[in-house]
Amino acid sequence: MTQSDDACTSPGIRPATVSVLTGYYNRVHCVDETILSILNQSHQDIELIAFDDCSTDGTGDRLIALRDELADPRFKVLIHESNKGFTQGMIDAIAASDSEFICVQGSGDISLPRRIERQVSALRSDPDIGAVGSWYTNVVETNGRRYPRRPDANGVDFESLMKGNVFSHGEVMIRRSVYEAAGGYRSAFTFCQDYDLWLRIAKISRLHTVKEFLYERSVRFDGASYHPKKFPLQARFTILARRFALMSEPELGAAIARLGEVGPGEFVQGDDPELQRILLKAVLRSTIFGATQEAEKLSEQLTPGIPKAILRTINSIVARLPSRVSGR
């Protein structure tokens, strides 16, 4: 890794209250808007660490140029000499920071002006809260449709979290002491590194949601949540996060090591009932969001017997939806 700035913390300099971490790979078109949404927050006691994971479209150059244009000492850029993946990039960026709270920021997403202020307030008001999210709006890049999401992590414990994720990742702030106590991100999790972490945090701390729209999440159909090749891999990691969360320490250690060697396919076969349920939901979601080609390709991985008429019906419903759905 090549660090384009001096060490993120120096002797005698008080660390910022919040370290905001955002990772980029080939997203040059959305650098400015995301970075400015953080630097223009109402809570100013932050450091922003953006890392570029060996992009080929000029993203790294744009991050460096924007840093130089803004000349804001809070904004730091890390340039990876080789592609190491998002999870390892986050692990390294967090290790390069030193703050009370760790704030995740999705590249291409927008944090509304009071996001950090409201989440810091929630964490400081209750020391039992380990991670806090917010309501957010999904914004589809291709058509501008807006889909409000009102998740509620308040009262969600480990058992209920095992049934489904309550965060989308990019909108979450974590207490550093809890992140470290839970073991942090696991590099073996290429996808669902967040859900794997939330499950471990839920065992030792409370989860919380600020019930305000504080975040806008950019939905891209080439992302892992929709891509016909990436999503089945993501789904397998989701299943493994749940299964690993129930393992004993010796059993878990061996499983993590094996995962790093062979990947999730050996653990979760294509006809696994849980995988099939997740794939069906993804097909329906992609259809509703207008990613009909992605939905069709995903449906090819469903086992025989899933009625394709369901997809045709949903397609007809989606075609009659208004072009925009207001979230705020």
Residue 226 has pLDDT above 60, yes or no: no
Q: Give, in degrees to the nearest 5, the angle at Cα 108 between 282 and 132.
A: 75
pLDDT by residue (tens digit) across 246-265?
A: 999 889 999 999 998 999 99
Residue 225: phi and psi, rounded to 5, are -75, -10
More confident residue, 313 or 203: 203
pTM: predicted TM-score of the whole model, two decimal places: 0.83
C-alpha–C-alpha distance, residues 136 and 209, integer Å = 11
Residue 7 has pLDDT above 50, yes or no: no
CB 22 within 8 A of CB 39: no
CB 30 within 8 A of CB 50: no
pLDDT by residue (tens digit) across 142-161?
A: 888 899 999 999 999 999 99
More confident residue, 220 or 183: 183
CB 30 within 8 A of CB 141: no
Residue 2 has pLDDT above 50, yes or no: no
Residue 173 has pLDDT above 60, yes or no: yes
> How many Cα atoms sit within 13 Å of 105 on the Cβ side?
36
CB 119 within 8 A of CB 132: yes
Whose tokens are 């120096």? That residue is 10
Residue 257: phi and psi, rounded to 5, are -60, -45
Confidence of residue 232 (pLDDT cuts 50, 70, 90): confident
CB 200 within 8 A of CB 242: no
pLDDT average, residue stretch 134-138: 97
Sign of CA dihedral 301, 305, 306, 310: positive
Q: Give, in degrees to the nearest 5, the angle at Cα 211 between 199 and 19.
A: 60
